[in-house]
A and B are shown apart, each in its own frame.
Chain A
Amino acid sequence: MKEVEFAIVGGGPAGLSAAIEAARCGVKVMVFDENERPGGQLFKQIHKFFGSREHGAGIRGIDIGSQLLEDAEKYGVEVYLNAAVWGIFDGPQLGICAEHRVFRVKAKKVLLATGASENALAFSGWTLPGVIGAGAAQTMINIHRVLPGRRVLMVGSGNVGLIISYQLLQAGAQVEAVVEALPHITGYGVHASKLRRCGVPILTSHTVKEATGQERVERAIIVEVDHQFEPRPGTERDLAVDTICLAVGLTPMAELAWLAGCRIAYIPELGGHAPLHDDNMLTTAEDIYVAGDLTGIEEAHTAIEEGRVAGIAVAESLGYIDFTRAFELKQQAKDHLGALRKGPFGEKRAQAKVRMIERREHP
C-alpha cells in the first residue's frame, strides 16, 4: 500500500496552502483532488478580492490560484488529479478511486479540505433545464466560456448571488432581477451598487414561486414574502427568463469527516454541520485535520490562512519544525484570520469559530 507522510484531500486554496507550508518545512505532501485541475473554486473567481493588501487583496481569484499552484510546484508538492477520495479508515488510510483503479493510501497525517457544496431551493418547476446553481453558472461562463442562458433570474443576494450576477453581465447575459427573501441585501453594499447602476433590480422580501416552460425555463413567477417568508397573495410577477440561478447558501462537504468519526456540530452561522477543530485545525479524530470551507463557509483568504495553520501544525507534529517557530508562523496566520473576521459581516463567524474550538475542548 502506498504510504505518504501528509495526505491532503482537496486541492483548493485551503489544501494547497497547507501543502505549501508543510512542504516548505520538509514534509512529503500529496494532495488528492477529484477534479481535472486543482485550485478549487479559485479559477472561477475573476473578480478582485477584498482583504488586506499584505495578503493579496486587490488580486483576482484566478491569479491567486495560479500563484498557489506555482508555489506548490516550487516546493515539490505532489498533486494527484482525477483522484476521488471515497473513504477514510483507521490508520489513517484513504480509499481512493483514480484511473479506473481503487486503492488505499496510508498517511501519517490527513487534512480534509473538501470545501462546500451549493444548497438547492425547491419550487414548482425547479427541475426544468435552466434552473442551475449559481456556481454552475459561474463555472460555465468563466471557465468554459459558455453562456448557460441569456436572461437570468438570480435567487439570493449574498456575495455569491451579487458577484455572479455581475459576472453574468460581463459575460453578455441579462440579469432581469435578483430576489432576496430577507428584507435586506445580505452581501456587500458595493457589490449591490455595481449591479444597481447596471440597471439590475434587487428585490428584497421576494422569492421565486414557480418556473414554467416546455423543455426548459421560459418564465419565472416571483412573489413578495412577509417577515415569516410567507408569500403575499396577489403580489406575483411574471418574468421572461430562460435561466434561474440559485445562490441560496453553501454547506460544508463533511462526508469524510463523518466517516472518520470526527465530532461534528450543527452551526448555522457556518453553514450547517461542520467538524469541530482546535486552534491547530485538529479534529477530535486522531491525526485528522480540517481547513477551509469544510470547517465553515467563509472565503478564499480565510481558507488560505486556515490551510496555513493546519500545514504548520502538521509539520510541527511530525517534528519538522520546533515549537517556537511553529508558534510564530501559526500566530501570523491566526492574526490575519482575526482581521478577516472583523466587522458586521464577519463577527458571527468569528464568534462561531470561538465556540467551535471551545466545544471541541470541552464536550
Chain B
Amino acid sequence: MRIKNHPILGPLANKKKVMIDVDGRQIEAEENEPIAAALMAQGISVFHRTKKTGSPRGLFCGIGRCSDCFMIVDGIPNTRTCVTPVREGMKIETQHGLGQWKVDR
C-alpha cells in the first residue's frame, strides 16, 4: 500500500525500480528503500517465524533495534530488514527459527 498522494509530501516521486526475489516471488521495489518497506508495500507482513512455535513476526521498532524484522537476505540470516536497503536481484527469504548461513564462509 504505497501512499500515492499526500497533502504535505506531495505526489509519489517516480523512483527507480529494482526487482527483488522474496521466497521465490519477483517483487518490485524502489531503489534504496529498506527491505521492510518494499515488503509492506506489497502487503507482506510476516518476516520470520519463531523457533519453538512458528509464530509470525514482522516489523516492530522500525529503527534497527528490536530483531522482529529479521529475514535471510542473500543467504545471511538475522538481517535487519528495516534498515537494510534493497538492491537489484537481492534474494530475501522468510526466516524460520534462528536461521542458517547459506553462503560459503
Contacts and interface: CB of A to CB of B under 8 A. Distances in A.
In the A-B complex, list the 4 residue pairs whose CB atoms are closest, starting with the nearest: A136-B62, A129-B58, A144-B37, A147-B1
Contacts of A35: 83
Interface in B37-87: 37, 40-41, 45-47, 55-65, 68, 82-83, 85
A46 B7 CA distance: 10
Contact of A128 (B56, B63, B82): B56
B97 interface: no
Contacts of A170: 6-8
A142 interface: yes
Residue from the set A34, A35, A137, A145 with the largest chain B CB neighbour count within 10 Å: A145
Contacts, number: 91
Interface in B1-27: 1-3, 6-9, 12
A216 interface: yes
Contact of A117 (B8, B45, B58, B65): B65
Contacts of A172: 3
Given A146-B1, A216-B45, A131 B60 contact: yes
Contact of B46 (A60, A118, A215): A215
Contacts of B65: 117
Chain B interface mostly? loop
Nearest to B32: A36
B33 interface: yes
Given A117-B65, A139-B62, A170-B7, A144 B34 contact: yes
A136 B9 contact: no
Interface string A204-229: 00000000000110000000000000
Interface of A: 34-36, 46-47, 60, 117-118, 120, 127-133, 135-137, 139-142, 144-148, 150, 170-172, 215-216
Contacts of A148: 40, 59
11 contacts: A117-B63, A129-B45, A129-B56, A133-B61, A133-B63, A145-B3, A145-B6, A150-B1, A170-B7, A170-B8, A215-B56
Contacts of A132: 59-62
B61 A118 contact: yes
Contacts of A144: 33-34, 37, 41
Contact of A216 (B3, B7, B41, B56): B56
B97 to A, nearest CB: 15
A131 B32 CA distance: 25
Chain A interface mostly? loop
B3 A141 contact: yes
Interface of B: 1-3, 6-9, 12, 32-34, 37, 40-41, 45-47, 55-65, 68, 82-83, 85
B60 A140 contact: no
Given A36-B32, A47-B8, A146-B40, 10 more contacts: A127-B68, A133-B61, A136-B62, A139-B62, A144-B34, A145-B3, A147-B1, A170-B6, A216-B46, A216-B56
Contacts of B56: 128-129, 215-216
A21 B45 CA distance: 43
A215 B45 contact: yes
Nearest to B13: A145
Contact of A142 (B9, B34, B55, B82): B9
A359 B65 CA distance: 31
Contacts of B58: 128-130, 216
Contact of B9 (A46, A129, A133, A140): A46
A34 B64 contact: yes
B63 A36 contact: no
B68 to A, nearest CB: 8
Contacts of B47: 129
Contacts of B46: 129, 215-216
Contacts of A139: 62-63
Contacts of A46: 8-9
A136 B63 contact: yes
Contacts of B45: 129-130, 215-216
B3 A146 contact: yes
Contacts of B63: 117-118, 133, 135-136, 139
Contacts of A120: 60
A252 to B, nearest CB: 13
Nearest to A171: B3
